[in-house]
Amino acid sequence: MTKGWPNPGALPVQAGEEGKKGKRAGRLKIFFGYSTGVGKTYAMLKCAHELKDAGADVVVGYIDPQARPETLALLEGLEVMPPLEVRYKGAALREFDLDAALGRRPRLILVDQLAHTNAEGSRHYKRYQDIQELLKAGIDVYTTVNVQHIESLNDIVASITGVVVRERLPDSVFDNADQVELVDIEPEDLLRRLNQDALYLQDQPQNPSQDFFPLEDLIALREIALRRSADRVSRLAEEKAKTSDKGKPPAEEHILICLSPSPTNNKVIRTAARMADAFHGAFTALYVEGAQTQRLKKEALERLKSNLRLAEQLGARVTTVYGDDVAAQIAEYAKVSGVTKIVIGRSNNQRRLFSSPWTLVEKLTDLAPGLDFYIIPDTFSPYAEKQTLRTAGPFFSWLDTAKALGILGLTTLVSLGFFYAGFSKANIITVYILGVLFISLSTTGRLYGALASLASVFIFNFLFTEPLYTFHAVDSGYPATFLVMFAASFITSTLTLRIKNQVRQEALKARRTEILLETSQKLQRAGDEGGILKETARQLNRLLDAGIICYPVRGQELAEPLYFPKAGQEDLKSQLTSLSEKAVALWVLKNNKQAGASTDTLPEAKCLYLAVRNYDTVFAVIGVVFSERKELASFDHSLLVALLGECALAMEKEQISRAKNRIELQAQQEQLRANLLRAISHDLRTPLTGISGNAGILMANSSVLDENKKKQLYMDIYDDAQWLINLVENLLSVSRIESDGIAIRKTPELLSEIIDEAMSHVNRQKTEHRISVSLESDLLMAKMDSRLVIQVLINMINNAVTYTPPGSAIRISAFAKGEMIQVEVADDGQGVPDEAKPHLFNMFYTADNHRGDGKRGLGLGLALCRSIINAHGGEIGLRDNLPKGTVFYFTLQAQEVNYHE
């Protein structure tokens, strides 16, 4: 595993701890100066001693070992972490140990040189990324930086000092610091300090000021640093004013720059960033991708990618459009996006023979006259476009050569037919122009179209002009004819090639748009989190033509990965889900940032890992598998981010839906509990009062009561207790059904045994009714949970006993009905009113709420019966029992009787 990568075994624990402690982000304080030697590190260490004396937990993470002696003396009394030694090309380099700092977790850590570039093999490419991870972990950081290391000021500093600073950091790191302390000293005093040799070690030159910036440069750098500090203070004040005064939003400027592989484009980007900062406006970097993009040389392509990353670092929103007419695309985008100012570099390309006399700036001013244009000059010598573009396609192809010769031969045969048929030479010229058109359509590059145009002229001269079969032309007008013929053929070939490229670009754009729209529709149809991730991975497979690794997030941990390979990568799963790769995915989860291949964090990973996130919530980590290529195109990366955003929205919606369902279920359960409490408040009191009253009479008057009276009181107590038992059974069953559902365990049972068991538990008042049982066969069997079906029969029979007058007939029957067994409980009572029938199986509904004994039903029995029968896959209902009464029925799945058992 590469040094600097997180420990896969310890990282899950760290991630969990961060989840618990991550409510507080660390605070960053920058000690800012205009040059080396002004005392930034000294001031930082002085503050550290003051905080330590106040009881703070302060640790020194890294201090430049070449600092001044009086600065290094301040390390005494402070806890100093040992540096991390990294081997690079045989040499031992001393770097800041990020993992040790995260393990130590001090309240404040000091890390010198914010813009430092880490040694190869470190987790991050730049030190400011190390510090961002510390801040994410809730650790406060003190650090130092000079003004020349700020990205947007690099060109200004280079123009003043003549030195291009290589170690730079994005302006956003400086601007987003919680506190910036300007460490200032007069330039004369700084030079005096250098001349006293207090800054350098003994092996440095005796007169260091000769190798340092002159006084004029130091004064200019000091002015830039003071202005940059003042700009930051002004920006903070304006942001505070915006939050307090919401009624007057200022008119916002929109700055646009055009990305290109030009060597001076980075200067244009920095200038536009400073303008956007000064105007407090939006900043957009636009790249027009055309046919020439595919022909960029490696060096030009690297410059383009570098310029794109620079624009992103400086806060630009990078956008890509398609088209070969760069000026038209820029002007159209500026109109629809509300751009107010365009910053563009002066075209420094060498003019070619047939190049347009209009420059890009002239075309833009003509197409968008209402915009402000800022032209940034450069000092580079003019360069030719051929230095930027490579040859389009292979110079020679046997297949294209065969196609061109075949079409040219066919064209010649047709022309000979026209010639001997007496057609005019104008028709023959048209045939050859058409042949060149077909050659341009069927071959790649400009070579074959140009050669076909030239060959057509020679063939026409040889076969169809006087004298025949020679390259001489008698008629003085033939040279003009040849020239027009060649020009027409060449222009036709060029236009055809341009149309082919445009069609290819439009097809690519349509495909990407189709994938985006299709993704949105598929994610809406996906049922759950797993379906959303699978659809997202499949769409990314199509878009990027790359394998996808997906880690769902469970709490603060990564679940088992899902692998969606592209063709030929099926056997790479073990490599792509190794401990080192999973460690990178865990880092992305913990820090909510992208990492892995093509990034500055853990770049040696095999995948580019990104978080599927919404604000601070990470739903999953997606890894894009890199094989041959090591970086995504800018537009592909933008589409990737857009797709992951769609995925995050869908997953957030799914989580909200699940939470809403849980809340609704809890609300229903709470409503059920409330209804139960309201319903039983009276119904429990009445039988309990009867039981306690009758028991009191028996206890107080047992000696004077005759046996018949005592028997009547005992029967009343028994009836009230039995009613309470049935009520409690129904309450418990309903509560279990509403909370956990019914666990059905079906077994074949004889209906005769089930009915006999239910009759033994029916209300004592059954003796006052004529109850009969009629079965189609004593061997009728059904698949059922006997305990639950017995409860259904008890409730139905008790319902008939309770709501019919004494002496009524109640008939229990069962018979086969197709593949089902139908069980009926019929009575000849008063029947159920028609308006009550649709509601009779609803919970808490009773058709008779005015019973004389004060014990009305809760409306739970029949509702419970319906839930049980539905869980068995049967039907339940009622109908009139002619001439009077009601028939309640339910069905169960029949079980065939095996007579051999």
349: β partners: 383
Q: Which token pair is 450?
A: 């140009």
Which region holds residue 132: left if phi is over 0, alpha if psi is between -120 and 50, else beta? alpha
How many other CB atoms sit within 10 Å of the CB of residue 743? 9
33: left (phi over 0), alpha (psi -120 to 50) or beta: beta
Can you give the length of the chain in residues? Answer: 901
384, exposed or middle or buried, with CB in 10 Å at 0-12, 13-18, 19+? exposed
pLDDT for 677: 61
Burial (CB count <10 Å: 0-12, 13-18, 19+), residue 615: exposed
pLDDT value of position 25? 82
Rounded CA-CA distance 193/844 in Å is 93
- The span from the CA of 182 to the CA of 876, in Å, is 83
Structure tokens at 746: 């079906």
Distance in Å from the first CA to the final CA of the chain: 68
Secondary structure (DSSP) of 815-840: EEETTEEEEEEEE-SS---TTTGGGT
- Candidates 176, 115, 175, 165; CA nearest to 143 is 115
Residue whose C-alpha is closest to residue 134's, from 91, 98, 169: 98
| Cα separation, 716 vs 722, whole angstroms | 10
Return the structure tokens found at 646.
């769609």
- Residue 590 in contact with residue 14, Cβ under 8 Å? yes
CA distance 436 to 451: 9
Report the alpha-carbon distance of residue 721 to residue 837 in Å, rounded.
30
Which residue type is seen at 518?
Answer: E
Contact yes or no for 813/796 (Cβ under 8 A):
no
Q: Compute the CA torsion angle 379, 382, 383, 384 (nearest 10 deg).
A: 160
C-alpha span between 488 and 174 (Å, rounded): 59
The reported pTM is: 0.62
Strand partners, 562: 550
Phi, psi of 597 (to 5 degrees): -55, 140
Dihedral sign for Cα atoms in the order 780, 781, 784, 790: positive
Which phi and psi (to 5°) does residue 484 adopt? -65, -40
Give the DSSP H or E segment for 558: strand 557-558
As given in the structure block, the two tokens for residue 800 are 């008939």
Dig out the tokens for 552 from the structure: 């769902």
Instruction: Check residue 317 and give left, alpha or beta (phi > 0: left; psi -120 to 50: alpha).
Output: beta
Q: Which residue type does 14 have? A: Q
Query: What is the DSSP-derived secondary structure letter of residue 601?
Result: B
Tokens found for residue 169: 């950091």
Average pLDDT along the chain: 80
Q: What percent of the chain has pLDDT over 90?
A: 20
- The three-class DSSP label of residue 257 is strand
Q: What pLDDT sits at residue 513?
A: 74
Q: How far apart are alpha carbons 323 and 288 in whole angstroms?
A: 7
Query: What's the token pair of residue 315?
Result: 């806060």
Instruction: Say which amino acid occupies 6.
Output: P
Residue 40: both structure tokens together = 């930034």
Q: How far is CA 520 from CA 163, 267, 513, 523, 528, in A?
A: 50, 39, 11, 5, 15
CB 108 within 8 A of CB 57: yes
d(CA 254, CA 336): 12
How far apart, in whole angstroms, are the C-alpha atoms of residue 421 and residue 428?
A: 11
For each successive 10 residues of the chain (901 residues), what is the average pLDDT?
Answer: 45 41 76 91 93 92 87 91 83 88 93 92 90 92 94 87 87 90 91 65 42 81 90 78 54 84 86 87 86 72 84 85 81 88 74 58 84 78 52 63 86 86 83 81 73 81 79 68 72 74 72 75 79 86 84 87 80 82 90 85 88 85 77 72 85 85 78 61 68 82 79 81 71 59 79 89 74 90 88 86 87 92 92 84 62 48 81 90 91 75 48
Contact indicator for 134, 143 with CB cutoff of 8 Å: no
User: Quick one: tokens of 440?
Assistant: 């341009």
